[in-house]
Amino acid sequence: MGSCKVQNDKQTKSVLVHGPIIVGAGPSGLAVSACLSQQGLPSLILERSDCLASLWKHRTYDRLKLHLPKQFCELPLFGFPENFPKYPTKRQFIAYIESYASHFKIQPKFKQAVQTALFDHASGFWRVQTQDSEYISKWLVVATGENAEPVFPDVVGLDKFNGHVLHTSKYKSGSEFKNQKVLVIGCGNSGMEVSLDLCRHNAIPHMVARNSVHVLPREIFGFSTFGIAMALLRWFPLRLVDKILLLMANITLGNTDQLGLRRPKTGPIELKNITGKTPVLDVGALSQIKSGKIKVVGGVKEITKNGARFTDGQEKEIDAIILATGYKSNVPTWLKECDFFTKDGMPKTPFPNGWKGENGLYTVGFTRRGLQGTALDADKIAQDISEQWRKIKDLNNNNNNNYTSNSPSYPT
C-alpha cells in the first residue's frame, strides 16, 4: 500500500498518495502493484468491492476452470503452485490471487468506489474521488479491465417473461434448473459452459447462436490448442496458423456449421486480435450438442410470457432465460475529460501500445489477450513509472528538497 498524507476539511478527506493510484483489485491491478513493488515503489489500489478479484469470487459459476493451461495465466514474478492441475479451478485461481497479494504485501483500500477521476492541469496531478475521499497522485493506473459490468441485451418482450431471467454473472449452478427448459442467449465460452452445466443437472438447454462463432478443441492430441498456436506463431504468419488450427478443429470436432454453429470467415486468432471475440474452447458441450441434449436455436425474434419466438419461425415454451451476453468496460462512467478511451471504454491505441496515455495515465487489462497481456503491460507500466520516479527524486535532491528523499514532490 502506498504511503499517504491525509488532509481533512469540512467536506471531504484528501489523501496525497506517494505512488500511483491503481483503480481495481483484480488480477490486473495486483500485477501492476507487484511490479511496482519489485521496483521499490509504493502504490495504492482502490477497489469498489470488499475483496480481491471480485469478478472471480462473485460473478462466476461454480464449475468454471481456466480455459488455458496455468503457465499462460500466471501473473508477473509469482507462479502457480506446482501441485495445481493443468487447468486450475475457480477456487484454486482465487487462492492463487490471494497468495499473490499476500506475497507482495498488497493491501488495497476496499469499498472505495471511484466516482470520478480527473487530471488537474493546474497542479499536474490526478484527482480521484470516491464516496468519502479524494485521492491525489501524479499517476493513475486504470485496472478495471474489459469485464467490469455485465452486458444486458435489448431483447423484445424480455420484460414480459413470466419465468426466471438472470445474467451469467449471477449464475452459479444448474442444480436450480433441474428438468426446466432453459433458453441460454449467447454461444461464447460462457454460453457453452452454462449449457453444458445445465445439461449435467438434467435441465434442457436451448442455446441461441445468432452470430457466427469459432469452436476449437481445448487440446489437440494432448497439447493445449492455445500453446500450439503460440508456438506456430513464432515461425509462421498469423493467417497460416489460423488455417492450421481450423484444419485441426475440423478433423477433431467435425463441421460445426452442420450443428448450427457457423464459423466466421475471419480466422480465430485474427478475429480475436481485431474484435476481442474469443474462440470457444470446447470442454464437452459439442458432444452434448451432437447428441441433442443441448439444442442450438437461431436468433430470438421476441420473448413471450411463457417462451420465445425465433427468427426461423419456431416458437418454444421456456421456463427460464440465462443471458450469456458477456461484459463491458465501465471506464467512461468515471474517467472524465479523457479522450484516450473509446465510448466503449477501450483504449483507442491498439495493442501493444495501449498501455500508456498522457499526463501519467496508464491502462492494464485491456489488451484482449488475457492474463498474458496483463503481465506484459504491468511490467511496462512499472518500468516507465520507475524511470519517472528516479528523475523526480534526483531533481528533488539537487534542489535540496525538504520532502522525504525517496518520494516525489506533492502539492500542498
pTM exceeding the 0.85 threshold for the entire prediction: yes
Least confident of 4-8, 66-70, 72-76: 4-8
Least confident of 76-80, 224-228, 292-296, 350-354: 350-354
Whether residues 95 and 159 share a domain: the answer is no
Q: Check if the beta carbon of residue 261 is closer than 8 Å to that of residue 214.
A: no
Instruction: Say if residue 39's pLDDT is above 70.
Output: yes
Q: Residues 392-405: what's their mean pLDDT?
A: 65
In a domain, 399, yes or no: no
Whether residues 30 and 93 share a domain: the answer is yes
Whether residues 178 and 142 share a domain: the answer is no
Whether residues 288 and 359 share a domain: the answer is no
Q: Residues 197-203: what's their mean pLDDT?
A: 95
pLDDT of residue 344: 92
CA-nearest of 193, 168, 151, 368 to 281 is 193
Q: Residues 294-308: what's their mean pLDDT?
A: 94
pLDDT of residue 8: 53
Whether residues 93 and 177 share a domain: the answer is no
CATH number of the structural domain spanning residue 52: 3.50.50.60
Distance CA 132, CA 34 (A): 27
Whether residues 195 and 292 share a domain: the answer is yes
Whether residues 163 and 112 share a domain: the answer is no
In a domain, 397, yes or no: no
pLDDT of residue 107: 96
Whether residues 247 and 274 share a domain: the answer is yes
Q: Check if the beta carbon of residue 368 is closer than 8 Å to that of residue 273.
A: yes
pLDDT of residue 4: 53
Q: For residue 104, give the amino acid letter.
A: F
Instruction: Say if residue 170's pLDDT is above 90.
Output: yes
In a domain, 407, yes or no: no
Q: For residue 142, give the amino acid letter.
A: V
- 253-261 long-range contacts, CB within 8 A, separation 24+: 253/215, 253/216, 253/217, 253/282, 253/286, 254/290, 256/215, 256/286, 259/286, 259/289, 259/290, 259/296, 260/209, 260/289, 260/296, 260/297, 260/298, 261/187, 261/209, 261/213, 261/215, 261/289, 261/296
Beta pairing partners, 15: 6, 135
In a domain, 209, yes or no: yes
Q: Which of 275, 307, 326 is the last residue of a domain?
A: 326
Instruction: Say if residue 1's pLDDT is above 50.
Output: no
- Binned at pLDDT 50, 70 and 90, residue 396 comes out as confident
Instruction: Say if residue 143's pLDDT is above 80.
Output: yes
Q: For residue 278, give the amino acid letter.
A: T
In a domain, 260, yes or no: yes
Whether residues 197 and 313 share a domain: the answer is yes
Instruction: Say if residue 5's pLDDT is above 60.
Output: no
In a domain, 392, yes or no: no
Instruction: Say if residue 406's pLDDT is above 70.
Output: no
Cell of 136: 491525489
Distance CA 213, CA 264 (A): 6
- Binned at pLDDT 50, 70 and 90, residue 7 comes out as low
Instruction: Say if residue 412's pLDDT is above 60.
Output: no
Domain count, the chain: 2
Q: Which of 326, 350, 370 is the last residue of a domain?
A: 326
The residue segments making up the domain with residue 180 are 152-326
How many CA atoms does the CB half-sphere of 67 hold within 13 Å? 21
Proportion of the chain above pLDDT 70, given as a percent: 94
In a domain, 409, yes or no: no
In a domain, 400, yes or no: no
Distance CA 267, CA 246 (A): 8
pLDDT of residue 11: 63
Whether residues 162 and 108 share a domain: the answer is no
φ/ψ (deg, to 5) at 44: -130, 120
Whether residues 190 and 140 share a domain: the answer is no
Q: Mean pLDDT across the chain, nearest whole number?
A: 91
Whether residues 247 and 190 share a domain: the answer is yes
